[in-house]
Amino acid sequence: MTSQALNVPHADRFYIGGQWVEPSSEATFTVLNSATEEIVARVPQATEADADAAVQAARQAFDHGPWPRMTPAERAVYMDRIAERLEALNDDFARIWTTESGVLYKIAQPRVGQYLSGAFRQYSAMAHTYPFIKPVKSTSGHQGYQIQEPVGVSVAIVPWNGPAGLIAYKVAPALLAGCTVIIKSSPEAPCSGNLFAQICDEVGLPPGVVNAITADREVSESLVRNPGVDKITFTGSTAAGRRIGAVASERVARCTLELGGKSPALVLDDYDVEAAAKLLGTAYFSYLTGQVCASLTRIIVPRAKHDAMVDALVDAARGMVIGDPFDPATTMGPLASERQRDTVERMVAQGVAEGARLAVGGGRPKHLERGFFFEPTVFANVDNSSFIARNEFFGPVLSVIAADSEQHAIDMANDSIYGLNAAVFTHDAEHAMRVARQLRSGSVGHNASRYDFAIGFGGFKQSGIGREGGEGGLEAFLESKTVVLDQMAP
């Protein structure tokens, strides 16, 4: 396996108030290479005192600093500088992502920097197009204004599966809005947060506008409780999201929650199962080893095509090359951590115990002694009400479910606490639209998983609250103020 050195600026410090500061304790998190289990970094573990210091710095910058008082166009200048640095450090972000989370380097390296910079460039452009101040004639005839102002201090709680991308789509709209931000990175994948903080330092953001720490759940909860925090944006599990939402509601703090999914793919009668399997199997297993909340993991097919779909997915799984994610020949890398692999193993065992047929996979690859690897796995004859059909694996496991009719397929797709993503496979675009409109899901793709953060991403039901990306992502960091002047409108 390839051993890669990571570019982790100031790995022993936090970025608070425009300075790289020493942590308040000597406790650290150990960061492992997910493919080799080698230690690649040690980063400080934030205490509640460190979190409080970050909030104080962000609060000071918001209440008394220049950032919220700049025009959107002035803030956009900094955002364009950040975008340039993200592109310049593309390879550093790619290597961090591959090492920490297991994504294939050949997937990450060509595009991660452009994806990150794309978020900042999109919101920078909105500085000139979004109506932050809109004149409105009031019902009394007086001159009114609808003004969009920053919500305040925002905490961005970032997960371990795609930290850099989610930092971009949490921080870029917050900065355009005029908010100040505390990035809370996960212990498993903190290095992108440090690298992003270094960029903010380089481009000269005013002190306290962006702060970055790494902390566990207990300290994260202290941030959610902190009265100095106005807004929480979180990506992670539904269980954790429920807790954050409950704590935030105690003081009516604003929150955006992007949570779990158990997303369905409906393969309709007219679509070839082998063609669908290449997208639903090979593409799914390859991208982050299935560690994606929007993954299409419930494959719902006409009953007559169930066995053919299973066979095609089995062929796709057996064709995967599992190994070093830096090797160009590899088509599926490891899971991010031992804990995540253990979770997948337990869930697979429960699926077998419930009576689903394990068609392929289900264990650790025998040729790999180190690393958090797990075989691509397919379950057949899955009951839509079973544990494995209703709970998120966050790993390379697919379930094939037979439907008696198209309406039955739609009903089963919607019979879930989740509603994050879905897809409809059919050669008829109008038919795809009709089915898509019946699915209770934040995103629906035609013949592929086609969610798009540039338009807007988020879920129905327990897949979350609010949207990231697009105008909705900006509006999540704004408060609407109505001003009516003592003068008549023209």
Q: How many CB atoms lie within 10 A of CB 26?
A: 8
Say which residue the tokens 């988020």 belong to.
458
The helix (run of H) or strand (run of E) holding residue 340 is helix 338-354
Closest CA to 337 of 190, 220, 156: 190
CA distances in angstroms from 25 to 18, 21, 141, 210, 227, listed in the order given = 20, 12, 60, 22, 24
Tokens for 290, please give them: 């299935």
Closest CA to 111 of 56, 58, 32, 168: 168
Residue 372: alpha-carbon gap to chain centroid: 21
Closest CA to 377 of 402, 353, 355, 352: 352
Closest CA to 472 of 84, 122, 153: 122
* Pairing verdict, β 397-403 and 296-302: parallel
What are the φ and ψ backbone dihedral angles of 488, each rounded to 5 degrees? -80, 145
What are the φ and ψ backbone dihedral angles of 227, each rounded to 5 degrees? -65, -15
Report helix angle 72-88 to 163-177, nearest 10.
160
Please state the three-class secondary structure of 178-227 as a single string.
CCEEEEEECCCCCHHHHHHHHHHHHCCCCCCCEEEEECCHHHHHHHHHCC
| Burial (CB count within 10 angstroms: exposed 0-12, middle 13-18, buried 19+), residue 419 | buried
Tokens for 304, please give them: 């007559």
> Is 425 in contact with 271 (CB distance < 8 Å)?
yes
β partners of residue 42: 30
Scanning 65-131, the segments in alpha helix (DSSP H) are: 72-88, 90-101, 105-108, 112-126
CA distance 440 to 422: 9
CA distance 162 to 336: 11
Is residue 258 part of the annotated active site? The answer reads yes
One-letter amino acid at 280 equals: L
- 45-60: b or e for each residue (b if 16 or more CB lie within 10 Å)? bbbbebbbbbbbbbbb
> Is 130 in contact with 145 (CB distance < 8 Å)?
no
Say which residue the tokens 């009576």 belong to.
355
Active-site annotation holder among 258, 375, 392, 468: 258
Q: Which residues are catalytic?
A: 258
